[in-house]
Amino acid sequence: MKITNIRLYKVPPRWLFLKIETDEGLAGWGEPVVEGRADTVRMAVEECREQLIGANPMCIEDIWQTLYRGGFYRGGPVMMSAIAGIDQALWDIKGKYYGAPVYELLGGACRKKMRVYQWVGGDRPRNLAEAAQEAYRKGFTAIKVLACEELNYVDSYQKITEVLERIASVRDALGYKMEIAIDFHGRVHKSMAKILAKELEQFHPMFIEEPVLAQQNEALRDIAMHSNIPIATGERMFSRWDFKKILQEGYVDIIQPDPSHAGGISECRRLAAMAEAYDVSVAFHSPLGPAALAACLQLDFAAPNALIQEQSLGMHYNKENDLLDYLADKSDFVCEGGCMEPLKKPGLGVEIDEALLAQRSQVPHDWKANIWRLPDGAIAEW
């Protein structure tokens, strides 16, 4: 079997889909994208065309190593996202060739269902109690919320109080029937992260996510010493070499690699095994579309230390199109009682609606991250 062509579709809300075609009629899908840099990643995938056309798609590891080691400069969000989408599509082809879901090719399922959480509250968190109650009515037992808006290096205690009041409103509404994961989103600098983590202990969150940016991971030690809340991070880390140090240092409880950013299914499978060796769990990052979520679920059912799965249905970024819109069969994902079942179809387990992709790719869009500023006009972390 040989790869004969690659096709890319940039579509709303902020996604990029890749289709790899073969001379035997099998095709695979992936999502190689950096949110807000879709065109850049698209070009990176196109630059891999020469290595892909004519290659045997079954030789996933050889292709991965060729793409990674075939350049003098390695790693980073753009190249690793390009490799990630290619890798997802190759696993999709391989699963279809053998007539099995990818998790079967990774050793088989180690669980019967995978817990997922619902995003609530939006980019600037509001009305968390109402949103949490709605998620609970839908059967979810866990939510994730953004902790705060922009914060200065050292900011007022009023902003800390506002965060505490929002989380308290969820606890008042639902008690401990709903677990709460709190995302700092890298918006919080070390000095305030220590305070916020300590003050949030009273609400017993499931975890705090990205309390500081990945470039500031040395601060995780101080934050861990100020709070007993489990720490999660890793959505802005892109390979086993990026994760090696934080696993060795031991201050992280949950790693969150993204199979659309961190080298795909192949690399994220290795990362889950690395984390297990350090008694650390994994919660794969997935705020993207159906192929990305399907890749996560294939890993979840093969990784014994997978904790919980993010999914983007109804997420505040998903304007114009949502998670299920690009599926030919909307029933591919089954979510009941806050859990998803193993995907039944071979490969990634989802059937992408290519006709709709082609149509929607004609709609101009250029999603960009927010630019936030502090009251004095200085740029703030978003």
Q: What residues act catalytically?
A: 185, 285
276 alpha carbon, distance to own chain's centre: 19
Task: Give the β-pairing of 254-255 and 281-282.
Answer: parallel
Q: Which residues contact 103 (CB under 8 A, 6 or more apart)?
A: 109, 297, 298, 299, 301, 302, 342
The end-to-end CA distance of the chain, in Å, is 45
Number of residues assigned to the chain = 382
Q: Cα separation of 347 and 66, whole Å?
A: 22
| E strands, 248-320, in order | 254-255, 281-282
**Residue spans of beta strands (DSSP E) within the chain:** 3-11, 15-22, 27-30, 114-115, 118-119, 142-146, 179-183, 207-209, 231-233, 254-255, 281-282, 335-336, 339-340, 372-373, 379-380
The encoded tokens of residue 80 equal 């690793």
The pair phi, psi for residue 121, each rounded to 5°, is 100, -20
Q: Which residues pair with 6 in a beta bridge?
A: 20
Distance between CA 372 and CA 382 in Å, rounded?
Answer: 6
